[in-house]
């Protein structure tokens, strides 16, 4: 029996990655006016720098922006102008300011699930930015709790389950990232509903979960989420 359903936020309930990718493309364009690197090379250097900074800076738009500033200076060997660095900072602020646009059929899907189960929003990254997005999404009334964690790993999911006092096999997590939303939960003995998004940050593409895992269901539209949740936990119920 499923007792708790977790939802990811970014790219599961609302659009997000597209804003980061737009900022990344503009960053490549600015750096490209100084150095003889193609966009893929610049992107690879930025990704490597983001990963190096991850332990210190964590996830989110502010971290990405600081890493863009650092990387732009390093790649241009200090030749980049202060005006262009100011533009890079503005790219990061634009990510933080973007409107929260729900994916199709999300509100109805969360309402249906919330009518039958306790639901919790579990997102990672910048606390301030995530709280703003939750408030702007208009979905905060549907969630029993909003958990913002610095990393979506087994330890942090385990803490959430302990706070709710439930076992992993009574928990299903819904999200677009196999690495962050599905694999750690399934490894604990829980269930996953994978809702792929059309773009994924490269960092999230690395995971160790096989296709066709018996405790993971894949759906392609939010309207299919309630039905997939009903299949978790061996329940016969359908909604």
- Positions touching a second copy (CB under 8 A) are 56-59, 62-63, 65-66, 69-70, 72-74, 76, 78-83, 85-86, 89, 92-93, 96-97, 126-129, 131, 148-150
Closest to a second copy by CB, 79 or 115 = 79
Closest to a second copy by CB, 123 or 176 = 123
Exposure letters 107-133 (e unless 16+ CB within 10 A, then b): bebbebbbeebbbbbbbbbbeebbeeb
The 3-state DSSP class for residue 198 equals coil
User: Smallest distance from the beta carbon of 128 to a second copy, in angstroms?
Assistant: 3
Residues found in the chain: 239
- Contact in structure between 183 and 206 (CB atoms under 8 Å): no
Half-sphere exposure of 121 (CA within 13 A, CB side): 26
Closest to a second copy by CB, 95 or 186 = 95
Closest to a second copy by CB, 131 or 169 = 131
Q: For residue 160, which of 183, 184, 135, 193 has the smallest C-alpha distance?
A: 184
Closest to a second copy by CB, 28 or 126 = 126
User: Smallest distance from the beta carbon of 56 to a second copy, in angstroms?
Assistant: 5
User: Smallest distance from the beta carbon of 82 to a second copy, in angstroms?
Assistant: 4
- Contact in structure between 84 and 72 (CB atoms under 8 Å): yes
Q: For residue 8, which of 164, 113, 168, 120 has the smallest C-alpha distance?
A: 120
User: Smallest distance from the beta carbon of 222 to a second copy, in angstroms?
Assistant: 27
User: Smallest distance from the beta carbon of 136 to a second copy, in angstroms?
Assistant: 13
Distance CA(70)–CA(72), nearest Å, equals 6
Residue with the two structure tokens 């609302």: 14
User: Smallest distance from the beta carbon of 116 to a second copy, in angstroms?
Assistant: 23
Closest to a second copy by CB, 95 or 110 = 95
User: Smallest distance from the beta carbon of 213 to a second copy, in angstroms?
Assistant: 30
Distance CA(16)–CA(84), nearest Å, equals 24
Closest to a second copy by CB, 73 or 168 = 73
Distance CA(9)–CA(187), nearest Å, equals 21
Q: For residue 216, which of 166, 188, 170, 174 has the smallest C-alpha distance?
A: 174
């Amino acid at each position: 029996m499923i007792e708790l359903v977790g939802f990811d936020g970014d790219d599961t309930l609302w659009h997000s990655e597209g804003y980061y990718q737009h900022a990344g493309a503009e960053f490549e364009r600015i750096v490209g006016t100084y150095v003889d690197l193609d966009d893929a090379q610049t992107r690879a250097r930025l990704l490597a720098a983001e990963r190096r900074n991850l332990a210190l800076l964590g996830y989110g738009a502010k971290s990405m922006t600081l890493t863009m500033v650092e990387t732009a200076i390093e790649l241009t060997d200090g030749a980049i102008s202060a005006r262009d660095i100011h533009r890079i900072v503005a790219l990061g602020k634009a990510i933080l300011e973007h409107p929260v646009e729900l994916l199709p059929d999300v509100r109805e899907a969360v309402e249906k699930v919330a009518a039958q189960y306790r639901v919790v929003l579990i997102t990672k990254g910048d606390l301030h930015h995530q709280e703003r997005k939750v408030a702007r999404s208009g979905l905060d009334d549907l969630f029993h709790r909003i958990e913002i964690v610095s990393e979506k790993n087994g330890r942090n999911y385990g803490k959430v389950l302990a706070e709710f006092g439930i076992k992993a096999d009574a928990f299903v997590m819904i999200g677009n990232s196999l690495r962050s939303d599905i694999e750690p939960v399934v490894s604990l003995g829980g269930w996953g509903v994978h809702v792929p998004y059309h773009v994924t940050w490269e960092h999230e593409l690395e995971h160790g979960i096989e296709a066709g895992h018996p405790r993971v269901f894949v759906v392609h539209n939010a309207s299919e989420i309630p039905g997939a949740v009903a299949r978790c936990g061996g329940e016969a119920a359908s909604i």
